[in-house]
Chains A and B, each alone.
Chain A
Amino acid sequence: MNTLEKNVASPVTPGEQHFPPFEVSDDIIALADERISHYPESKLSAVLPLIHIVQHKHGFVSKEAITWIAGKLEIEPMKVVSVVTFYPGFRQSAPGKFHYRVCRTLSCAMAGSYELMDQICEITGIDRSKLSHHHPIVVSPCGMYSVEFAECLASCGSAPVCLVNDDFHENIKPENAQDLINKYQP
């Protein structure tokens, strides 16, 4: 795979089983058209909402999705790639069914969020060493769980904190990791 193809590549992960593959359905077109109607001046402004729609429905933003969004907004696909790669909240490969975002900014780091991450990884069987800048998300072999470090989640007083999918959890001590995992069972 050449360097340019990597810009839009979506490496296969075990999490893919939990998300429907990207397709241009009537449903998604209707959602997109509705969002675009919010921006009568320039369709370009709808790029963020459209990426959100795709990621929410399909788990991640694939090459096909990028091409579709660019076509829908009549912009260069590179502009969509720029936005997708800029925000850490957007993913280009599938996470697990339960995606754990552990805060690693100062307060949480001091309160033990790295240890929390280690615990979550150990329980879910995720290879923690695979986490890096270019691979911010690691999925468990079963495809149920995935982890990612997040920057400040704006709740420093209740550190350490983490997000599981869209649910926010405070004061998660590393030793309570198992309880947190137990809350989300397939």
Chain B
Amino acid sequence: MSTRVDPDLRREVARFGADDLDKCINCGNCTAVCSLSEGNTVFPRKTIRYLQLGLKEKLLQSPEPWLCYYCGECSDTCPRDANPGETMMALRRWATAQYDRSGHAAKFYTSAKRLWMAIFLRAMIPLVLLALFHAITGFKWIVTDHVELNTFAPVMWVWLAVVIHFIFLGYRVMSGSLTMSRHVLGASSQPFNLPFVVYLSELKTFLLHFFTQKRWRECGEQHHRRWLEHMFFVSGYLIMLLLVVGLLGWFQTDKIYPIYHPQRWLGYYATVALLYGSISMFVGRIRKRDQIHKFSDLTDWLFPGFLFVGALTGILLHIFRYADWPWPTYVMYVIHVMAMVAMLDVEVGIGKWAHMIYRPLAMYLVRLRERSEELALAAGAATPAAN
């Protein structure tokens, strides 16, 4: 098997944040100190070595960047101060850009100007659509003596737009996932012919890690608290996703439900979770006390920023609606939707939120690889004379 060396790879990845590569002397401290490094997936040294040598193919085949939860112990103890943890982070950004066929991820990660431009343009889409709608209807659908949100922005149309947007986002995530799977599974030395049922039965790995991200807990006791906070935050995020994508007709309503109604408290729970999560991320990044917060990139700041704006405008929208102030409600609604559309578009699959899919997917693919090797081993044992 030939190996192609790409001498520009280091410079390419450096644009995503890894610029301490020259300091690394491959002593292996990082791998040995990592509590997640085990079995056939040992990192970061090996992964960083591929990067140093310009082995792009090898890097694309490595699920390792996604198996790292950035506890930062490798960077804390690196004798050369080479920040292996941050290199893994940069490799995750780079890999996300590699999986993204639209090329957006690469642009957003490497140019702040382009990222802000994209955010602005994406935010304009709902504004333009709504303006068009009211222009066509001659502004008769804006009720101003009391709040009628569902006349201002009819929920069925909004829902349709949301679903179309999510189909688009879903396509992007699927396409990225398929690219990643092709690379990672293609690395196997054995021909990959697992029975279909194995693919299905191993999906439990994906689901388990998707919902719990529980591998993070293996980073050590001191990370359990942050993991719990993250769980709380994710639960709020998933509930909000369910309310907006699955149940918008029920969630966006002019009817005011009693306080004990699930429509109310599910919304409140999710809001609190998102607000808490985004603020704690902000605080951590400002303090820079933990290794993970020492090198915050613009994309790392944007993520809690969006969530905070989303939660805040959501709360204000809620207050204005209950106070029955029509114009503040409508304006806040538009700002809220603009922020959320922009966020979903620059985050899902290509931004910070890529890890939501790619982390559990990497673990799923590693399991598949292991199963394939087990099978090959069993087959080899059954027919020893085959060689």
Does B bind A? Answer: no
